[in-house]
A and B are shown apart, each in its own frame.
Chain A
Amino acid sequence: MTLVYILAFIAIAGLLGFVTHDRWRVNLLLAVSALAVYALQPALPVRGLDYYLPTITLALAALTWVLTTPRETRSWKANWPAAALLGGIVLALALTRYLGFSLPLTASRPPQTLVVLAILAVAVVLGLLVTRFTSPGKTALTLAFIFVLLFFVFLKVPALSLQLSLFLRTLNEQSLATASPLDVRWLGFSYVAFRLLHTIRDRQSGRLPPVSLAEYVVYIIFFPALSAGPIDRIERFVSDLRRPLQRTSEDWGEAGKRLVIGLFKKFALADTLAIIALNGTNALQVNTTGWAWVILYAYAFQLYLDFSGYTDIAIGIGRLLGFKLPENFNAPYLKPNLTQFWNNWHMTLTQWFRAYFFNPVTRALRSGKKPLSIPVIILITQIGTMVLIGLWHGVTLNFVIWGLCHGIGLFVHNRWSERTKARFAALSPNWQKTLNVGGALLTFHFVILTWVFFALPEPSVSFHFFQTLFGGA
C-alpha cells in the first residue's frame, strides 16, 4: 500500500466517520471497501486479471455469505441494496474503460464490458441458485471450505501459480514465454481467505452470528485491514459496526497517535532499513561476518516495523471509522521466551491457528481411543501449527524449515519451562529479571536466525548465509 493510498484512506475514514446513519454507514463502508479491493490490486501482466481478481474477491465474499447464512435470515428485501451496490461497482468500474483518461481505481484498463456483464450474470444466477436451493448444511460448508483452501493453495504453490498463469495466458492468447508465478499476485487474498475460513468454520460449529450481506462483505474486505490485517473475528467486528458511531476526542487522539506512529514505522524506519536488509541477492554477496549480522538485524527490525506499522495504520484508520481493531504486535522482540514471542507477534494470525487448528487437533489427539502422551501431542500440534503458518506465507521448502524450527523451538521451550518453572518461581526477583533478559536475548537471536529461512528463497542460499554469519564463508 503506497503512502498516497494510505493518506486517501485516512481522509476517507475521517469523512466517513461523520456518517452516523446506520444503513448509510454500512453501505458507504461497503462501497469504499469494494473500491479499495480494486484500487489496491497491483497491475498484472495477464490481460484483465487485475480486474477479475478483485471481482472474484467480491463474488467469493457474497457467495460465502449466502452459504454461511441460514435461509430464513438471508432476506432479499433486506439485502438487495448491498447486492446491487456490489454489482453496480463491478459494472461501473468496467465502464471506466470508455473514459478518455485512467482512474486510479483499477490497475489497468478494465476488460470488455460484455465479458464483465456475462460474468455478473453468471454470478447472479449462481447466487440465486445457491440462495434458492441451499442452506448452510454440512456438505455445502465443507465444500466451500475446501474450495477456498484450494484457491489459497493455487496461489501459494509457485508451480501451481505458474500453471494457472500459463492457462490464463493461453486463454488470452498471450505469450507463454514470460509466464511467472507472480502473474497471479492477488492482493489481500491471504487475509480474505482466513476471514472466509473463519466464518465457514464458525457456521459449521454454530457460533457464527447472523449478519447481513453488507455487514459480512465489509468484514471480509474492510479496507484498512485488507492488505496486512489484522484478522478480526466477525462477531467482534460486527458489534463495532452496529454500535452507534460517536467519535470522541479520545478516538481522534488515539487514531492520530496510531497513524503517526504507523506511518513513521513504515515509511521512515522500515523503508529505510529495507535498503540494507537481508534479501536473496545480498545474502550471496556479503563477504564478512560482521556485516552479515548487520543486514540480518536490519531485516529483523524492518520486518517488524513494516508489519506493525501497517497494523498501527489499520488500527488508526479503523478508529476513525469507529472500529477497535485487534492488536497484532506487542513488543515481541522483548519477550523472554518463544511461547511469549508467538503470543505477541502477529497475534491475530496465531489466534486464528490456535482456534482452528491447534485446539481442535489437540482435542482430537487427546480424545482418541489410545490417547498419545502429552509431550507427543504438544510436539505434533506445535510443529503442525508452525509449519502451517510457514506454508501460509508461501509453499516453499524454506517456509517449511522455518515452521519446523519454530515448532521444535516451542516444544523445547514448553518442556523446559515445565521442568524449571518451580525452580524459576523460587528465585529472587533480581535473578528472575536477569534470566528474563538473558531469555529475551536468546529468543530474539533464535527468531532472527530463523528469519534467514523466511527471508531467503532457497535452503542453499540460507545455508550459504549461515556460513557467512558464523565465519565459515
Chain B
Amino acid sequence: MDARFLRNVLLKSLTLFLVFDFLVAFLPAGIGKVSLYNSLFEGRLRFPFGEDSARSYNLSLFDLDAMFAAHIINSAPKPADEYRVILIGDSSTWGTLLRPDETLSGQLDSAGLTACDGRTVRVYNLGYPTVSLTKDLMVLDYALRYDPDLILWPLTLESFPLDKQLSSPIVANNAARVDDLITRYSLSLDPADPDLVRPGFWGLTLIGQRRALADLIRLQLYGVLWSATGIDQTYPADYTRAQTDFDTDITYHGQTGPTLDENQLSFDIFDAVLSAAGDIPVILVNEPILISAGENSHLRYNFLYPRWAYDDWRQMMQSMAAARGWNYLDLWNLIPAEQFTNSAIHVTPAAETFVVEQVKLSIQEQICP
C-alpha cells in the first residue's frame, strides 16, 4: 500500500460520494412509498407519530407517502365486500393515550357494523395529532385514492384559526403539497408564508435529506417492534391532567369577542375538505370538550377555549349545518370533565365508548337509511 494508492482511494471515494450526493437531488420524490410495512411488517393501525421512539416504537416524520405506506389502509386494494370508512382529524381521532383498539376508529371497527348490501364496515384511523384544517385537507386529499365509502371527520374550533393552518410541522414540511392544494381549491393561504419550509438545491441532496432518510429507515426498523409488540405509543401511568383552573384571560387567537371574526377562521379550507370529499358522504362530529368547573370556568370552558369564542363557533357550525344539510353530530358536552385525560379534547377509553355509541347510530343511518 503506497501513498499514491491511498491518495487515489481518497480521491475516488470523495468523487463517488459527491456524485451520489448530487444525484439524489435529481431523484423524483416518492421514496417514502417504498416500505416494509404491509409485507414484512403488519401495517400500522394509525399514522406514525411519537417523540419517545425508544419506548413507543414510533416516530414523527413528514413524508406523507411513508406515513400512508406504513398504514394498514395500504395493505391491499379495497375488497369488494368492504364498506370503507375513514376517519380524519386531530389527536383525539389518532388516540392520544389510547391503545389502537380503544380509539374511536378501533372501537367502531370492532363494532361489527354491516352495510345494508352485506358489506362489512371497516374503519381506518387517519387522524394525525396536530390541529389544522389544512392538515386534514392534505390527509383526505391523499386518502381519496384508497376509495373510501364514508368519511368521518371529528373536529374542533382549534383547527380553524388562520394561524394554525401552516404551523403544524407536517404541513410546514410539505410545501409542495400545500401549493397544490392552494391551486386546486383556491385556498386563501399564502404560498410565501415563512412557516412553509422550502428546501433549496442543497436541501435536496443526500446531505440535505439525511434527517428525512434516517427517519424513513427508523420507521422501517420500528416496524419490527410494532409487529412484535403491537405498541405504538407510551402509556404513562402518571401524566399531567388537563387544566381546570384558569386566569381571567379570555382572548382567543388575538380576538376578545364577544363574537368571532369569521375572516380569522379558515372556513374556506373547511369547505375545501367537503368539496374534496365530492360525492362521498361526510359525517361531521363536533368533538367533546372538557367543560371545567374550576376557577374562572365561567369565563373559559377549558385551556383551549374561552366560552364566548367556543359558543359563537358552535352557533356558526349549527347554523351552517342546518342551512347546508350536513350530517352533523354536536357532541361537545357529551363527556363529563373527569373523563378527560391530558388535554381538553383527549378522553379515556370508557368515554370514547360514549362517543362510539353516538357515532355508530349516525353511521348506521348513513349506510342503511
Interface-located stretch among B153-161, B221-229, B272-280: B221-229
Instruction: Please tell me if A374 contacts chain B, counting CB pairs below 8 Å.
Output: no
Whether A294 contacts B222 by the Cβ 8 Å rule is no
| Residue pair A256, B228 in contact (C-beta under 8 Å) | no
Contact status A249-B6, CB under 8 Å = yes
Q: Is the CB of B228 within 8 A of A288?
A: yes
B247 at the interface (CB under 8 A from A): no
B contact residues around A249 at 8 Å (CB): 1-3, 5-6
Write the chain A residue with the least CB distance to B53: A275
Do A294 and B6 have beta carbons less than 8 Å apart? no
Q: Is A412 an interface residue (CB 8 A)?
A: no
Q: Which residues of A contact B55 (CB under 8 A)?
A: 281
Q: A250-B1, A272-B217, A291-B224 are in contact. Are A286 and B6 (CB under 8 A)?
A: no
The answer to whether A295 touches B1, judged by C-beta atoms less than 8 angstroms apart, is: no
Set of chain B residues within 8 Å of A276, measured between Cβ atoms: 221-222, 224-225
0/1 interface trace, chain B 213-239, chain A, CB 8 Å (1 if under):
000011001101101111100000000
Interface centre among B54, B217, B228, B230 (most CB of A within 10 A): B228
Q: Is the interface of A mostly helix, strand, loop or mixed?
A: helix
A130 to B3, CA, bound (A): 50
Decide if A286 touches B218 in the complex (CB within 8 Å). Answer: no
Bound complex: CA of A288 vs CA of B224, how far in Å? 11
Q: B230 contacts which chain A residues (CB < 8 A)? A: 287
Contact A256 B229, beta carbon cutoff 8 Å: no
In angstroms, Cα B231 to Cα A250, docked, is 51
Q: How many residues of A contact B (CB 8 A)?
A: 20
> Is A282 among interface residues, defined by CB-CB distance under 8 A?
yes
Which residues from B are CB-within-8-Å of A272? 217, 221
Q: Is the CB of B217 within 8 A of A286?
A: no
CB neighbours of B229 from chain A (8 A): 282, 285-287
The smallest C-beta distance from B207 to any residue of chain A, in angstroms, reads 16
Interface code A280-300, partner B: CB below 8 Å = 1, 0 otherwise?
A: 011001111001101100100
With A282-B229, A291-B228, A295-B225 as contacts: A253 and B217 at CB distance below 8 Å: no
| Chain B residues within an 8 Å CB radius of A285 | 225, 228-229, 231
* Bound: A276/B221 CA distance, A: 7
Q: In the bound complex, how far is the Cα of B357 from the Cα of A33, in angstroms?
A: 68
Chain B, residue nearest A273 (CB)? B221
- Mark interface residues in A295-323 (1 if CB within 8 Å of B CB, else 0): 10010000000000000000000000000
Contacts of B20-51 to chain A: CB distance below 8 A: none
**Which chain B residue shows the least CB distance to A254?**
B1
Would you call B225 and A282 a contact (CB within 8 A)?
Answer: yes
Q: Is A253's CB under 8 angstroms from B1's CB?
A: yes
Find out whether the CB atom of A282 lies under 8 angstroms from the CB atom of B221. no
B160 → chain A closest CB, angstroms: 38
Select from chain B the residue with minimum beta-carbon distance to A292. Answer: B228
| Chain A 241-296 residues near chain B, CB threshold 8 A | 249-250, 252-254, 256, 272, 275-276, 281-282, 285-288, 291-292, 294-295
Grouping DSSP codes into helix (H, G, I), strand (E, B) and loop, the B interface class, with mixed when no group exceeds half, is: helix
Instruction: List residues of chain A with CB within 8 A of the CB of B6.
Output: 249, 252-253, 256
Cβ contact of B227, chosen from A253, A254, A291, cutoff 8 A: A291
A19 to B231, CA, bound (A): 55
Are B221 and A275 in contact, with the CB atoms below 8 A?
yes
A249, A292, A295: which has the most chain B beta carbons within 10 Å?
A: A249
Contact A295–B218 (Cβ < 8 Å): no
Q: Which residues of B contact A288 (CB under 8 A)?
A: 227-228
| Shortest beta-carbon distance from B3 to chain A in Å | 4
- B4-23 vs A, CB cutoff 8 Å, 1 = contact: the mask equals 01100100000000000000
Residues B1 and A282 in contact, CB atoms below 8 Å apart: no
Q: Which residues of B contact A275 (CB under 8 A)?
A: 53-54, 218, 221-222, 225
Most buried by B among A252, A275, A281: A275
Q: B221 and A295: CB pair below 8 A? A: no
- Beta-carbon nearest neighbor of A468 in chain B: B228
- B238 CB, min distance to chain A CBs, angstroms: 16
| Chain A residue with Cβ nearest B41 | A291
Q: A253-B6, A285-B229, A287-B229 are in contact. Are A295 and B224 (CB under 8 A)?
A: yes
CA distance A275 to B228 in the complex (A): 13
Contact B228 A287 (CB under 8 A): yes
User: Looking across the interface, which residue of chain A has its beta carbon closest to that of B227?
Assistant: A291
Q: Which of A286, A295, A298 has the most CB of B within 10 A?
A: A286
- Provide the residues of chain B in CB contact with A253, threshold 8 Å: 1, 5-6, 9
Set of chain B residues within 8 Å of A298, measured between Cβ atoms: 224
Minimum CB–CB distance from B45 to chain A (whole Å) comes to 15
A256 to B14, CA, bound (A): 14
Q: How far is the CA of A208 from the CA of B1 in the complex (A)?
A: 36
Complex Cα–Cα for A106 and B224 (A):
38
What 1/0 mask marks residues of chain B from 200 to 221 whose CB sits below 8 Å from any chain A CB?
0000000000000000011001
Chain B 74-94 interface 0/1 with A at a Cβ cutoff of 8 Å (1 = within): 000000000000000000000
Q: A276 CA to B231 CA in the complex, in Å? A: 13
Distance (Å) between the CB of B232 and the closest chain A CB?
12
Q: Which residues of B contact A256 (CB under 8 A)?
A: 6
- Minimum Cβ distance to chain B for residue A319 (Å): 12
CB-CB under 8 A from B222, the residues of chain A are 275-276
B residues in contact with A281, CB < 8 Å: 55
Q: How far is the CB of A192 from chain B (nearest CB, A)?
A: 30
- Closest partner residue, chain B, to A275 (CB atom): B221
Bitwise interface map of A from 192 to 209 toward B, beta carbon under 8 Å scored 1, else 0: 000000000000000000
For the complex, give the distance between the alpha carbons of A250 and B230 in Å.
Answer: 52
Residues of A within 8 A of B224 (CB): 276, 291, 294-295, 298
Which residue of chain A has its CB nearest to the CB of B55? A281
Closest residue to A294 on the B side, CB-wise? B224
Residue of A nearest to B222 (CB): A275
**How far is A276 from B9 in the complex, measured between Cα atoms in Å?**
34
Q: A248: shortest Cβ distance to chain B, in Å? A: 9
Determine the distance from Cα of A22 to Cα of B149 in the docked complex, in whole angstroms. 81
What residue of chain B has the Cβ atom nearest to residue A251's Cβ?
B1
Q: Can you name the residue of chain B whose Cβ is closest to the Cβ of A279?
A: B54
Question: Nearest Cβ distance between residue B173 and chain A, in whole angstroms?
Answer: 23
Q: Is the CB of B3 within 8 A of A295?
A: no
* Alpha-carbon distance A298/B228, docked complex (angstroms): 13
Q: A249 CA to B55 CA in the complex, in Å?
A: 47
Identify B228's interface contact among A250, A252, A254, A282, CB under 8 A.
A282
Q: Identify the interface centre among A252, A272, A285, A295: most chain B CB within 10 Å of its CB.
A: A285
Known: A272-B217, A291-B228. 4 other contacts (CB 8 A): A252-B3, A275-B222, A281-B55, A285-B228
In the complex, 11 of the A-B residue pairs with CB atoms within 8 angstroms, ordered by the A residue number, are A249-B3, A252-B6, A253-B1, A272-B217, A275-B54, A276-B222, A276-B224, A282-B228, A286-B228, A287-B229, A287-B230
Which 5 A-B pairs rank lowest in CB-CB distance, beginning with the nearest? A291-B228, A253-B1, A285-B229, A249-B3, A276-B224
Interface residues, chain A, with chain B CB atoms under 8 Å away: 249-250, 252-254, 256, 272, 275-276, 281-282, 285-288, 291-292, 294-295, 298
